């Protein structure tokens, strides 16, 4: 751990005192104090609002992830129930079922996490 020498501490103290010049200090009027309090309360309300929005978005992302996972599991189950002939008709074999179902989950997750305000992003399906 680095320790400051007495000279460094004195120099830092002098710098702090020179930056904080209290010679020009004046008393505030009640109107100025009231305005400062109003401004502080408004800033506090804005921060609280931003925090609430962030929490709501976080909870929404959790539910979105659960919904997307359930859709992927449903897709997997539906594809797994098909016969080999039916899978061949749609261009799949049994080894590709998990990849198709859960790649779709990755695409949905990417869409929900990278939304663009005013328009949705186009995300291409990955190829194997």
Whether 57 is covered by a domain: the verdict is: yes
Determine what percent of the chain is predicted with pLDDT higher than 90: 29
Whether 27 is covered by a domain: the verdict is: no
pLDDT tens readout for residues 5-53: 888 777 777 666 555 566 667 788 999 999 999 999 999 999 999 999 9
Q: Counting Cβ atoms within 10 Å, is residue 72 exposed (0-12), middle (13-18) or buried (19+)?
A: buried
Whether 94 is covered by a domain: the verdict is: yes
With b for 16 or more beta-carbon neighbours within 10 A and e for fewer, the 112-121 pattern comes to eeeeeeeeee
Whether 100 is covered by a domain: the verdict is: yes
Whether 11 is covered by a domain: the verdict is: no
Number of structural domains in the chain: 1
Q: What is the pTM assigned to this prediction?
A: 0.50
Q: Cβ neighbours of residue 20 under 8 Å, at least 6 residues apart?
A: none
Domain extent, residue 65, equals: 32-113
Asked if residue 105 lies in contact with residue 69, where contact means CB atoms within 8 angstroms, the answer is: yes
Whether 7 is covered by a domain: the verdict is: no
């Amino acid at each position: 751990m680095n320790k400051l020498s007495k000279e460094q501490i004195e120099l830092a103290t002098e710098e702090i005192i020179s930056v904080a010049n209290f010679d020009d200090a004046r008393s505030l009027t009640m109107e100025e104090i009231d305005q400062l309090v109003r401004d502080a309360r408004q800033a506090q309300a804005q921060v609280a609002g931003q925090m609430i929005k962030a929490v709501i978005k976080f909870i929404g992302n959790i539910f979105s992830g659960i919904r997307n996972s359930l859709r992927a599991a449903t897709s997997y189950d539906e594809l797994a129930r098909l016969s080999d002939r039916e899978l061949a008709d749609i261009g799949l074999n049994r080894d590709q079922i998990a990849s198709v179902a859960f790649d779709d989950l990755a695409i949905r997750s990417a869409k929900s996490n990278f939304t663009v305000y005013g328009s949705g992003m186009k995300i291409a399906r990955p190829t194997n």
